[in-house]
Amino acid sequence: MAPRQITLAEMKDKSSKNYYENTRKAEEYFNQAKTPVKYNLPVSLALRQQFNIKKSTNENLYIRNCIKTGNTLVFTDLINRRLIICNSDGTNIHHIPLSYQPWYITEIDSNTVAVSCAFDQTILIINISTRSVTSTINTSGVCSGISYNDNNLYVVIGGSIIHVMDLRGKVTRTIPLPSDDIWDITVDRDRVVCIETTSIYCCSLDGKKMWEFEKDKFEDLTRVTTDHEGNVYVTNESTHTVIVISDDGKHHRELLTESDGLDWPCGIYFDKKENTLLVCNYMDGKAFLFDVKKN
């Protein structure tokens, strides 16, 4: 609330108690207005590496997700039913063929990933060192977003609930989601961050909504990841952008655009150990690794 206006009589009477009180309040008010508010958002990104994971120009890709584990990058190639694996500089590209279409991926450890094959209602546990599928989990419905945290797999089932399960597929509990059309999730810091086409939600691990972020220009949100401070990074496929949202859901900024090389970006992953952000386009085979600069 702004300070009460000082009357002419009070201005003439410099000894007036009200004069000094209102002057003090006015100074505090305007000093607060001049103090810049710092938000916990990245200042900028510095491109570390750009590379192409296509082996030939006539090769068709449909990359739906990606992760970085140490010096290894892993991409889900939906149309070719395989994982694409390479070094973090884009070299030494090789493939792991699969029996199902891989949509979403999460890291279990430095050698192991879990992949959800949505419409096949199947989760694959894959050793990327031996390039082999070590186990298969059948789900009770279409399985989309997947995240591994604290020895549990969190899997979106049917867009409306999360099944929490162990690596053998035993469901230990169910978490309700704030929408019936959730695509992707990430679990971190005792919370679930999830997205649908135009909205971002943050919920507790028992499903209580903590905040929701929605903007008219959000047309086609596809994948989500978080950094070690809780900031949320989302790809917006049809606008060719990456957006970052503060950990309280109150502030956001456009972080990457077409001018940075984005062309229908889909996969996104924040490497908390190296403070880097991996982003990939879904058809042209281009991937980008950025160093994230903080306030």
Q: What are phi and psi of 225, to 5 degrees?
A: -150, 165
Closest by Cα among 272, 271, 251 to 66:
271
CB 164 within 8 A of CB 175: yes
The amino acid present at 107, given as its one-letter code, is E
Task: Order across the sheet with 104-109: list the strands.
Answer: 104-109, 112-117, 122-127, 132-138
**Domains of the chain with bracketed CATH:** 1-35 (no CATH), 44-293 (2.120.10.30)
pLDDT digits (tens, 9 = 90+) for 85-139: 999 999 999 999 999 999 999 999 999 999 999 999 999 999 999 999 999 999 9
Tokens 């929408």 belong to residue: 179
* Local confidence band at 4 (pLDDT 50, 70, 90 cut-offs): very low
Distance (Å, rounded) from C-alpha 159 to C-alpha 183? 6
Query: Residue 243 to residues 22, 202, 229, 256: CA-CA distances in angstroms?
Result: 43, 15, 16, 7
Q: What is the pLDDT at residue 24?
A: 46
Distance (Å, rounded) from C-alpha 2 to C-alpha 221? 40
∠ CA 173-179-185, nearest 5°, is: 60
Query: Residue 136 to residues 121, 149, 161, 197, 257: CA-CA distances in angstroms?
Result: 10, 19, 21, 29, 38
pLDDT digits (tens, 9 = 90+) for 162-196: 999 999 999 999 999 999 999 999 999 899 999 99
DSSP run (H or E) holding 152: strand 152-157
How far from each other are the two terminal CA atoms of the chain, in whole angstroms? 30
Q: What is the pLDDT at residue 40?
A: 60
Predicted TM-score (pTM) of the model is 0.86
DSSP for 108-155, please give it. EETTEEEEEEGGGTEEEEEETTTTEEEEEEE-SS-EEEEEEETTEEEE
